[in-house]
């Protein structure tokens, strides 16, 4: 005769602990063959390697560059002796974020320290800065290449405040030109990556983040020796 099951019987889930994580916002663009890439970068291609009908299971063949879609730049992206993406501390990719609302700027506008002054007192070591340009609305169009960008002086001031992770909802932290190098070079990239920091590009959906200081995860694929890697960026509240 079988007696009553103990309260700790693993076959029963009578106690459910509420998750401390709430209001999760996906900050990543979906990846497909139409994913915009920086001029000259490899285009993304996704094709079936096997199918259930033919092989009994599905496997997707993925071909893309390290800077495809929502991704993180490592210092090695611009510095020959800089750390690769797999050599960086994970703390750079998971931290409370300060979101600077810099929407409404003109195409190719330089974002200066004056644009960041409303959040300047919140910039500190252990936090990341995300620039909400609103340019993700142009994803997949020619206008996406005409995004605002962070000027070198502002990037240096952010780094001087102790921030080592800067992201934005646009193609590049520096200006994008379709032919040649930006007039200001890649000053923002050099300022951040030169300080051992990382840059997150092609974010989306920052308008949906309700918290004043969300926790943001931009953990990259652990590509050995790479200059960067795609991420599944998310923002969430804890507690």
DSSP structure string for the chain: ---PPPTT-TT-----PPPSEEEEEE-BPPPSTT----TTSPPPEEEEEE-HHHHSS-EEEEE--TT-SSEEE-GGGT-TTSPPGGGS-GGGGEEEEEEEE-TTPPTTPEE-HHHHGGGGGG--TT-EEEEE--GGGGTTSGGGGG--EE-HHHHHHHHHTT--EEEESSS-SSPP-SSS--TTTTHHHHHHHHTT-EEEESB--GGG--SSS-EEE-PBP--TT-SEEEB--EEEEE-
Would residue 71 show up in a list of annotated catalytic residues for this protein? no
Please tell me the distance from the alpha carbon of residue 10 to that of residue 100, in angstroms, as a whole number. Answer: 47
Please tell me the distance from the alpha carbon of residue 21 to that of residue 214, in angstroms, as a whole number. Answer: 11
Which residue of the set 77, 132, 138, 147 is catalytic? 77
Pairing label, strands 59-63, 215-217: unpaired
Task: Show which residues are catalytic.
Answer: 77
């Amino acid at each position: 005769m079988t007696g009553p099951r103990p309260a700790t019987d693993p076959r029963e889930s009578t106690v459910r602990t509420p998750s401390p994580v709430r209001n999760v916002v996906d900050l990543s663009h979906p990846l497909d063959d139409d994913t915009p890439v920086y001029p000259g970068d490899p285009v993304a291609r996704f094709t079936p390697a096997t199918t259930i009908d033919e092989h009994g299971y599905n496997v997707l063949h993925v071909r893309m560059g390290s800077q495809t879609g929502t991704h993180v730049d490592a210092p090695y992206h611009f510095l020959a002796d800089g750390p690769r993406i797999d050599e960086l501390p994970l703390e750079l990719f998971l931290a409370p974020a300060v979101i600077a609302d810099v929407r409404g700027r003109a195409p190719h506008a330089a974002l200066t320290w004056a644009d960041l002054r409303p959040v300047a007192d919140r910039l500190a070591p252990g936090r990341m800065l995300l620039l909400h340009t609103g340019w993700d609305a142009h994803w997949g169009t020619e206008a996406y290449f005409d995004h605002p960008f962070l000027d070198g002086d502002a990037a240096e001031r952010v780094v001087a405040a102790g921030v080592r992770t800067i992201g934005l909802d646009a193609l590049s932290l520096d200006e994008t030109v379709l032919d040649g190098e930006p007039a200001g070079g890649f000053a923002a990239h050099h300022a951040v990556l030169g300080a051992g920091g990382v840059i997150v590009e092609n974010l989306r959906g920052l308008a949906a983040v309700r918290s004043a200081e969300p926790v943001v995860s931009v953990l990259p694929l652990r590509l050995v020796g790479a200059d960067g890697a795609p991420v599944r960026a998310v923002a969430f509240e804890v507690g």
